[in-house]
């Protein structure tokens, strides 16, 4: 296992990790402290540096993580050569791909957190899915909520799938909402903390958008914006109406995806049923950003390289800014959600607490959806059975 780790670290310093014969544009440096010597793998000053201060303890923890992950992670690609070795190398590689900036300084924390994510069973009672009827919105559709496994390449091993569906004249119609990638661990105070990594539309969503039902749902989703613009700052209102040139994009809570807000609200209602009050929002993973930069830098055509670089920055702004803005928007509608800290102030996470949630939510659609989910799960036999295990 030590040889395999060294192979990953050496290849990462070159910005090219080979798994099952395929190159992955993944780059980071490393510095390992071992007794009286320091081993370094470094080629590019722009790469983050993984610092392993206690090699022996690091290997013990990494071996434990790999043992658990080989059992728990279900979705690997179909490797053609030395499948066990390829799985291990992929797990080691993507442990660091999904690391935060602070994780590179303290990789023991990274491993501990990921072990906790793998062991967590908070939402296992939703593995078969649950359907919840709505009464006052989306034409009396149902919400479908399901806890599912994710690919080894994703940020966490679990996500929540959410969709709206309805049967009309013996036909089944569905509208897919964004997935929530999450991980849950227990902190030093013996409280569960939920890490949220992304709110993303699955690729299959485009196929669902062409039906009359889906178009009707999309129109109703925009009702989530009622009253929001009026609450914005005068600066943002003037910007949107083209009054004046301020030279930057003002802070606001309008520029979000309504479907992402709906998914987040549903997920927060799930957290409330589990009495989870602490959320950490992960807004930046440096190696993922740099992987796209590596691809841009390797273009022979300079115009294409600039295009990919600009696209990467725009994508990262969307991943970070719009993602965080969705949480800010949730605080506008739902009293009891409090943003305690923004990324890279105290820690690199957006720190959120769920206090006493006011269930009289400031939007008729969110109010119906949030409380329908909450009421259903509070008395769900699935949840009660899971809790009693």
Given 119, 150, 166, the domain boundary residue is 119
SS3 143: strand
Which residues sit opposite 39 in a β-bridge? 32
Residue whose C-alpha is closest to residue 19's, from 88, 97, 71, 73: 88
Q: For residue 346, what pLDDT is reported?
A: 84
Q: How far is residue 262's CA from residue 9's CA, in Å, rounded to a whole number?
A: 41
Q: How far is CA 377 from CA 42, 123, 129, 189, 348, in A?
A: 51, 11, 12, 26, 32
The answer on 34 and 74 residing in a single domain is yes
SS3 224: helix
- CA 172 distance to own-chain centroid: 29
DSSP string, 6-28: HHHHHHHHTT-EEETTEEE----
The answer on 164 and 93 residing in a single domain is no
The answer on 185 and 138 residing in a single domain is yes
Considering its fold, how many domains does the chain have in total?
Answer: 2
Which tokens is 50 given?
Answer: 């993984």
The answer on 299 and 209 residing in a single domain is yes
Q: In terms of residue numbers, what domain contains 142?
A: 124-388
The answer on 209 and 91 residing in a single domain is no
Q: For residue 388, what pLDDT is reported?
A: 38
Which tokens is 97 given?
Answer: 């791909």
Given 96, 119, 142, the domain boundary residue is 119
Per residue of the chain (389 residues), what is the pLDDT tens digit?
788 999 999 999 999 999 999 999 999 999 999 878 899 999 888 899 999 999 999 999 999 999 999 999 989 999 988 899 999 999 999 999 999 999 999 999 999 999 999 999 999 999 999 999 998 899 889 999 999 999 999 999 999 999 999 988 888 889 999 999 999 999 888 999 999 999 998 876 555 666 788 889 999 999 999 999 999 998 888 888 877 677 788 899 999 999 999 999 999 999 999 999 999 999 999 999 888 888 877 777 788 878 877 877 777 777 789 999 999 999 999 999 999 999 988 889 999 999 989 899 999 999 999 999 999 887 665 665 454 33
The answer on 212 and 135 residing in a single domain is yes
The answer on 149 and 95 residing in a single domain is no
Q: For residue 387, what pLDDT is reported?
A: 47
Which tokens is 263 given?
Answer: 């998914």
Q: For residue 300, what pLDDT is reported?
A: 78
Given 75, 96, 119, the domain boundary residue is 119
Contact 191, 353 (CB under 8 A): no
Q: Which long-range contacts (CB under 8 A, 24 or more apart) does 345-349 make?
A: 347/102, 347/280, 348/100, 348/101, 348/102, 348/283, 348/284, 349/100, 349/195, 349/280, 349/281, 349/282, 349/283
The answer on 266 and 231 residing in a single domain is yes
The answer on 158 and 73 residing in a single domain is no
The answer on 326 and 383 residing in a single domain is yes
The answer on 99 and 77 residing in a single domain is yes
The answer on 188 and 104 residing in a single domain is no
Contact 108, 61 (CB under 8 A): yes
Tens of pLDDT, residues 32-41: 998 788 999 9
Which tokens is 143 given?
Answer: 């919400």
């Amino acid at each position: 296992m030590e040889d395999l780790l060294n192979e990953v670290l050496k290849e990462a310093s070159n910005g090219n990790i080979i798994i099952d014969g395929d190159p992955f544009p993944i780059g980071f440096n490393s510095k390992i402290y071992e007794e009286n010597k320091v081993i370094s793998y470094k080629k590019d000053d722009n790469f983050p540096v993984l610092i392993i201060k206690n090699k022996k303890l690091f290997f013990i923890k990494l071996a434990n993580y790999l043992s658990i992950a080989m059992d728990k992670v279900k979705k690997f690609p179909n490797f053609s050569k030395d499948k066990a070795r390829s799985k291990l190398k992929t797990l080691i590689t993507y442990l660091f791909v999904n690391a935060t900036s602070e994780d590179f300084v303290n990789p023991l924390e990274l491993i501990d957190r990921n072990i906790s994510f793998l062991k967590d069973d908070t939402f296992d009672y939703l593995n078969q899915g649950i359907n919840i009827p709505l009464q006052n919105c989306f034409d009396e559709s149902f919400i479908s909520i399901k806890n599912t496994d994710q690919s080894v390449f994703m940020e966490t091993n679990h996500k929540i799938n959410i969709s709206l569906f309805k049967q009309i004249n013996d036909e089944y119609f569905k509208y897919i909402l964004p997935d929530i990638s999450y991980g849950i661990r227990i902190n030093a105070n013996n409280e569960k903390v939920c890490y949220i990594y992304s709110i993303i539309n699955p690729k299959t969503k485009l196929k669902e958008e062409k039906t009359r039902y889906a178009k009707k749902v999309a129109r109703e989703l925009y009702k989530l914006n009622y009253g929001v613009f009026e609450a914005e700052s005068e600066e943002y209102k003037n910007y949107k109406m083209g009054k004046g040139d301020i030279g930057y994009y003002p802070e606001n809570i309008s520029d979000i995806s309504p479907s992402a807000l709906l998914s987040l609200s549903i997920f927060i209602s799930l957290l409330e049923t589990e009495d989870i009050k602490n959320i950490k929002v992960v807004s930046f993973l440096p190696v993922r950003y740099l992987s796209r930069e590596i691809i841009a830098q390797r273009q022979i055509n300079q115009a294409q390289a600039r295009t990919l670089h600009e696209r990467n920055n725009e994508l990262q702004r969307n991943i970070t800014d719009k993602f965080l803005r969705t949480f800010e928007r949730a605080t506008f509608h739902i009293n009891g959600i409090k943003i305690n800290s923004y990324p890279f102030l105290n820690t690199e996470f957006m720190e959120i607490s769920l206090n006493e949630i006011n269930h009289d939510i400031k939007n008729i659609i969110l109010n119906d959806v949030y409380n329908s989910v909450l009421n259903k799960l509070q008395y769900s036999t699935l949840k009660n059975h899971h809790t009693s295990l």
